[in-house]
Amino acid sequence: MDHEFKDGDVVQLKSGGPPMTIDTIGRFGMMGSEHDQAKCVWFEGKKRMEGVFELHTLTSASSAGRSGTVSRA
C-alpha cells in the first residue's frame, strides 16, 4: 500500500477525530504486527494522549481539511 507517512507528520483518522502527530512508525503490540503502524500523540485539553493506529486508517490532516485556521467570508 502507498502509505508515505513519516515521523512528525500530522494525521487524522479517516473516520474523524483530532489531528495527531506521528511519533514513531513501527510494529507495536505484544503479538507484533505484520504491518507497520503509527504511534501517534495528540492533546485533549492539556492532557497528552497517545495511541497506536494501523496506517490504512489514517489520512494526512491537511487532506482532511485540518491544515490550520479557516476563514470564512
Give the model's pLDDT for residue 28: 85
Helix (H, G, I), strand (E, B) or coil at 56: helix
Residue ranges of the domains in the chain? 10-60
Residues forming a β-bridge with 35: none
- What does the alpha-carbon distance between residue 54 and residue 45 come to, in Å, rounded to a whole number? 25
The pTM for the full model equals 0.76
Give the model's pLDDT for residue 70: 39
Give the model's pLDDT for residue 11: 97
- What does the alpha-carbon distance between residue 60 and residue 20 come to, in Å, rounded to a whole number? 10
Give the model's pLDDT for residue 29: 73
Sequential pLDDT tens for the chain (73 residues): 456 899 999 999 999 999 999 999 998 876 666 788 999 999 999 999 999 999 999 999 886 654 444 334 4
